[in-house]
Structure 1
Amino acid sequence: MSAPTHTRPHPASRGGVDIRLPWWALALPTLAFVVLLTLILDPADARAATGDPTLTLLFERLQQLISR
């Protein structure tokens, strides 16, 4: 006894896939990329943190461990 086969109710379109993205699906990643690229390329705006010296020592130790 053979099992019945299922067919698609609508034929597949031959013109390609029609995908429409919302405007923010491209705008937000682009904006994030531009902001991060600006931060990387303009280090003059970066200022050293003047905080607790314990945190500074901790970050220095972590950097030394990673660089080994």
Structure 2
Amino acid sequence: MSAPTLTRPRPTAAPARVDTRLPWWALALPTLAFVTLLVLILNPSDAHAATGDPAITHLIERVQLLLARQP
């Protein structure tokens, strides 16, 4: 003989909302890392282990000149 299964009644409340807000550090830390790396690329004399091709420096300088020009 099988035993009857008990089911719980479902609540009639509205479905729960999903909170999609990010904490402040989820945006601040990647931004800080990006700015730090960008500063090291723009001023390679501060990066003591960086002895690479100066082509990246020339590219960044050109981008700065293009951004500095006012139309």
* Shared fold, TM over 0.5: no
After TM superposition, the score normalised by the length of structure 1 is 0.41
After TM superposition, the score normalised by the length of structure 2 is 0.40
> Highest relative contact order (Cα 8 Å, sep 6+), 1 or 2?
2
